[in-house]
Every structure is written in structure tokens, then in C-alpha cells.
């Protein structure tokens, strides 16, 4: 009889301890969200009617057979723009706004911006919960007339803080898009 009671106590104890354990595996396997669309909207700070929308749209996602469409943008020379980036999954109906998840998990994400050839400087103006740059909101400054590309990279679980270089920041790339940009 004592053996049965002892086994029962051990079983209940084991059940209680395993049922109350916390799962500290914070998404290390990272199920990547499907991002079909990246929309980068820039609004001129001195002329709010000057709105530039750059868009990348891949209707069936990165691994699908559809060819993505990419729309670049033309910015005014020697101007400043406020920027907002939006990520969508348009395979859902209605489209899922993935930006909401990225913002909620800001400590696990960061956008990186780099311009090549175009006289454009991008600064991140928003931060995550730990006061590290996030990059959903930006300030974009243009210089003299030029043309080139603007690349946007979203990293998952980068090292934070970092030096602003997406390769050095580590993590995995959720999305990377390059837009043609003209400054005139």
C-alpha cells in the first residue's frame, strides 16, 4: 500500500512540476511571416502634397512563381521626407498587416536602409521597447540631383544595438527589397 501511495505522490509531483514550467524558448525556430508587399511612403516635410510611394509586390511570396513588380520613386533635391514602411501579406483576405507584428516584436526586429548612387540619407526615427532603433518610421534627406538604388532589409533577431550594417547585425533576413530612386 505504501508503494502505491509513494508512486501516486511521485506522479502527482512530476505532473505539477512539468505543467507549471515556463517555456523560455522565445521563437528560436522563427516561423517567418509571409511578406508579399513592401510599401515605403515618403512625405515631404515642407510640401505635404509631395508624397512618394515606393512599392514591392510579389503576389505569391518569395518562393512563388509570379514575378514581383517594383515601383521606385522620384524625390525632390535638397528636401526632407518623413517615411513609413508597411509590410503586407496579400495572400490573406483581407490582407494581413505584418507591420503590426514587427512593431509588437520590435526587440526582435530591425529595418536597415542603404542608398547607393542616390544622394539620399535615411535615419530611423522610432525605437523598440529597449530604446534601440526599429526603422518603421524614418527621416529621409536628399542632396543634389542623382540616381541610384535604395535597399530596405528587415532582420529578425539582429544584435541590438549594432553599427547599422545589416550583415554585421546578424539575425535572419525576413525581407530585402531594392528600389530605383531618382533625386531631381
Mean pLDDT of 47-63: 93
* Cα–Cα–Cα angle for 160, 163, 164, rounded to 5 degrees: 90
Integer Cα distance of 170 and 157 in angstroms: 8
54-63 in b/e form (b: 16+ CB < 10 A) is: bbbebeeeee
Residue 2's pLDDT band (cuts 50, 70, 90): low
Mean pLDDT of 32-56: 96
* More confident site: 152 or 6: 152
Average pLDDT over the chain, rounded to whole? 88
Portion of the chain with pLDDT greater than 70, in percent? 83
The model's pTM:
0.82
Amino acid at each position: 500500500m505504501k508503494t502505491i501511495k509513494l508512486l501516486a505522490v511521485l506522479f502527482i509531483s512530476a505532473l505539477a512540476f512539468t505543467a507549471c514550467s515556463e517555456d523560455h524558448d522565445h521563437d528560436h525556430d522563427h516561423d517567418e511571416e509571409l511578406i508579399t508587399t513592401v510599401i515605403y511612403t515618403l512625405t515631404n516635410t515642407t510640401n505635404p502634397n509631395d508624397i512618394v510611394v515606393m512599392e514591392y509586390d510579389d503576389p505569391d511570396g518569395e518562393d512563388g512563381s509570379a514575378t514581383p513588380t517594383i515601383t521606385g520613386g522620384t524625390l525632390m533635391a535638397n528636401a526632407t521626407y518623413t517615411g513609413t514602411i508597411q509590410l503586407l501579406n496579400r495572400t490573406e483576405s483581407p490582407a494581413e498587416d505584418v507591420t503590426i507584428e514587427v512593431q509588437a516584436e520590435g526587440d526582435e526586429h530591425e529595418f536597415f536602409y542603404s542608398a547607393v548612387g542616390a544622394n539620399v540619407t535615411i535615419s530611423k526615427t522610432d525605437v523598440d521597447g529597449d530604446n534601440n532603433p526599429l526603422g518603421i518610421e524614418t527621416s529621409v534627406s536628399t542632396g543634389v540631383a542623382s540616381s541610384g538604388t535604395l535597399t530596405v532589409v528587415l532582420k529578425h533577431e539582429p544584435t541590438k544595438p549594432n553599427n547599422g550594417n545589416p550583415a554585421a547585425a546578424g539575425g535572419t533576413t525576413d525581407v530585402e527589397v531594392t528600389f530605383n530612386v531618382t533625386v531631381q
